[in-house]
Structure 1
């Protein structure tokens, strides 16, 4: 429910956690956590 695939990006996803977003990539069997940002900054700096 809180995990969504980002449009325009092949392997990029986000998790909603209150006012914060966690950005990560999935490559094969590996999850690579990239950013934890406030929602107003998230879409500027991720991916």
Structure 2
């Protein structure tokens, strides 16, 4: 429920944790965590 696939990006996902978002990519069987940002900054800086 807290994990969403991002539109327009093939392997990009986000996890919602309160007011913060964790952006990550899934490549094969590897998860690459990229950013932890406040929700108002997330769309601007990720991916």
Quick one: distance in 2 between partners of 1:27 and 1:8?
16
How many residue pairs align between the two structures? 47
What stretches of structure 1 of length at least 5 have no aligned partner?
A: none
Any idea what SS the aligned residue of 1:8 has?
coil
Runs of 4+ in 1 over 3 A off after TM superposition: none
Deviation digits for residues 1-47 of structure 1, max 9, x if unmatched? Answer: 00000000000000000000000000000000000000000000000
Give the alignment's TM-score, normalised by structure 1: 0.99
Give the alignment's TM-score, normalised by structure 2: 0.99
